[in-house]
Amino acid sequence: MPTVDFEKYCRMLDNAQSGNYAYPAINVSNVDTANAAIEGFVEAGSDGIVQVSTGGGEHASGNLKDAVLGAISLAEHIQRVANRYDVNIALHTDHCTTEKVETFLKPLIKETERRRTAGHSNLFSSHMYDGSDLPLDENLATAVPLLEMCRDNGIILEVETGIVGGEEDGLNREGIDKEKLYTTPEDMLAVYEALSPIKDARFMLAATFGNVHGVYKPGNVVLTPSILKNGQEAVVAKHGTEARFWLVFHGGSGSSQEEIQETLAYGVIKMNVDTDTQYAFSRPVANHMLTNYEGVLKIDGEVGNKKMYDPRAWLKKGRASMASRVVQACNDLRSAGKSVAL
């Protein structure tokens, strides 16, 4: 099946919200991590989201460092591979900051427009605009026309209020004022009132509740999931149950199962997973290199062992390990076995 269309994607997210589960959104940067993500969803019997950041797109394009080209190339690969399986894979782009809207987000929306004009399906199902570096009114003023563009092309837009701390993919927000890590009910009301008037558009909100990108020892990150509850209640109290947000959980590495489960009850339908899957991929590769040192390297004039240094040997191990971590994420978020395609 091609990338899930707008209606099916909305149904996936509505099902997750009503069923108190969420989809892992797995960041990928090359063919092997993309395959690992898909294989994990298939093994778990879960629909899922595979996403590409600007840095992931740049990496996928090699020395060209063309984030748009790399994102399109990965998305086309993912579509072709996912088409052979019986789960739904939505394609998403992650964390496009304001300064990259013109060079990354809009060109990808234009690519979808071009494809739709030619009678083809969408390449990406959703995009993220991260305007959290701006005052909220400026953030939303930029988000409104982007949401209109997405609406016109059958795309869901993800926006963010508050700031996810830490560092990911070159986006460094370490040492940020801690107050900015927490979205207020007033922020959530402002988002709804700015974006909901756009007829027939749908959007997700990455509201922050202490989230920090990366991995930290217990106690270093203080999450307050009740912020999501309070915000949802404020919006519903003023605008009715139909105003309840599709919420997104960023910076979840190292979160306890109790914290994750609590956010699901408050409307989280998507949780980004990147740091944990990066480690899952790299760990068996490191083990392969260290335990097969003499085979991987041509030591003291020897010829080494081609079976050990063939990249397929160690990439396969990394891919399998990452796929297992995706299965774990599906189980943690309760999406396992709930594919609408099965």
Q: Residue type for 194, please?
A: A
Please tell me the predicted confidence (pLDDT) of residue 221: 57
**SS3 (DSSP) at 200:** coil
In which region does residue 45 sit, left (phi positive, over 0), alpha (psi from -120 to 50) or beta (all else)? Answer: left
Whether the predicted model's global pTM rises above the 0.85 cut:
yes
Residues 210-220 pLDDT 10s: 766 555 454 45
Q: What one-character DSSP code corresponds to residue 105?
A: I
Please tell me the predicted confidence (pLDDT) of residue 132: 87
Q: What one-character DSSP code corresponds to residue 121?
A: P
Name 156's Cβ contacts closer than 8 Å, sequence gap at least 6.
6, 9, 10, 13, 125, 126, 127, 150, 202, 203, 204
Residues 232-285 pLDDT 10s: 999 999 999 999 999 999 877 667 888 889 999 999 999 999 999 999 999 999
User: Once rounded to an integer, what is the mean pLDDT over residues 303-329?
Assistant: 97
Residues 276-293 pLDDT 10s: 999 999 999 999 999 999
Cα 199 to Cα 26, 127, 183, 275: the distances in Å are 30, 18, 25, 36
Residues 73-101 pLDDT 10s: 999 999 999 999 999 999 999 999 999 99
Residue of 14, 47, 94, 276 marked active site: 94
Structural domains of the chain ordered from first start: 6-285+322-332 (3.20.20.70)
Rounded CA gap, 204 and 156, in Å? 7
Instruction: State the average pLDDT for the chain.
Output: 91
Q: Quick one: tokens of 26? A: 């797995």
Higher pLDDT, 341 or 291: 291
User: Once rounded to an integer, what is the mean pLDDT over residues 166-184?
Assistant: 58
Per-residue pLDDT band for 178 (boundaries 50, 70, 90) equals low
Residues 223-237 pLDDT 10s: 888 999 999 999 999
Q: Is 169 a catalytic residue?
A: no
From 57, 147, 39, select the one nearest 93 (Cα to Cα).
Answer: 57
**SS3 (DSSP) at 94:** strand
Rounded CA gap, 87 and 46, in Å? 6
